Amino acid sequence: MKKVARIVTPFVIASFTLGSVSAMAAPSSVIDGLVTTQEALNADQASVDRERVVELLSRDEVRDQLVAQGVDPAQVEQRVAALSDQEVREMNARLDQMPAGANAVVGALFTVFIVLLVTDLLGLTSVFPFTR
């Protein structure tokens, strides 16, 4: 038994030593890849917010109003998909502040119109011809 312990002990010590050295020398990209709990919760909230905006835009009365204003609903969906998490969060905050009912639809359309107008003015899109 002592003979086996004398043979195995150096290997165990070497493996512990090398294991701890490699853990301490982890590349910064591995450490940077860690996600905090708050970041994970924010990502979940952003996807919920984005789904809420997409759900609102899929309503028939909203689509009718977009078409009446000369905006292609498919292009609006693409724009919403391209919005950053912060922009989607701000849009949902505005939607929460709007009164319920018909005014909410008009307010939501106004919000979408403003977002589209700003992206047109920044040169990111070309939805409205009067911005050129």
Q: From CA 58, how far away is CA 117, in angstroms rounded?
A: 20
Q: How far apart are CA 127 and CA 79, in angstroms?
A: 11
The ranges assigned to domains in the chain are 35-127
Q: What is the DSSP letter of 101?
A: S
pLDDT (tens digit, 0 to 9) for every residue of the chain, 132 residues total? 677 778 878 777 877 777 666 555 555 545 566 767 777 776 777 788 888 888 888 888 888 888 888 888 888 888 888 888 888 888 878 777 765 555 566 677 778 888 887 887 887 777 767 766
Tokens of 29: 């990209």
Which residue in 45, 19, 112 sits closest to 73, CA to CA? 112
